[in-house]
Amino acid sequence: MGGVGLLLNRFLTRPELTDITLVHYALPRRDPDTVVLTSAAFGTAFYLGVVFALTGRLVVAK
């Protein structure tokens, strides 16, 4: 998830796209990589915790 977040962060904040008015106001600056990776890690952990709380099973890829 962190890798996808980094790619989207870099793609969506490219200068060619931020010249578009709507994109400029929606994504005005690029977040640092550490912020994106930390957010992805906490978001994934939160999601897995909610799924575990609701189903009683830990979802793990095999």
Give per-residue pLDDT as tens, 6-15. 888 888 778 7
Whether 48 is covered by a domain: the verdict is yes
Whether 51 is covered by a domain: the verdict is yes
Whether 27 is covered by a domain: the verdict is yes
Q: How confident is the model at residue 53 (pLDDT cuts 50, 70, 90)?
A: very high
Whether 42 is covered by a domain: the verdict is yes
State pTM to two decimals.
Answer: 0.65
Whether 61 is covered by a domain: the verdict is no
Tell me which residue range forms the domain holding 6.
2-55
Number of domains in the chain: 1
Whether 62 is covered by a domain: the verdict is no
**Distance of alpha carbon 18 from alpha carbon 25, whole angstroms:** 8
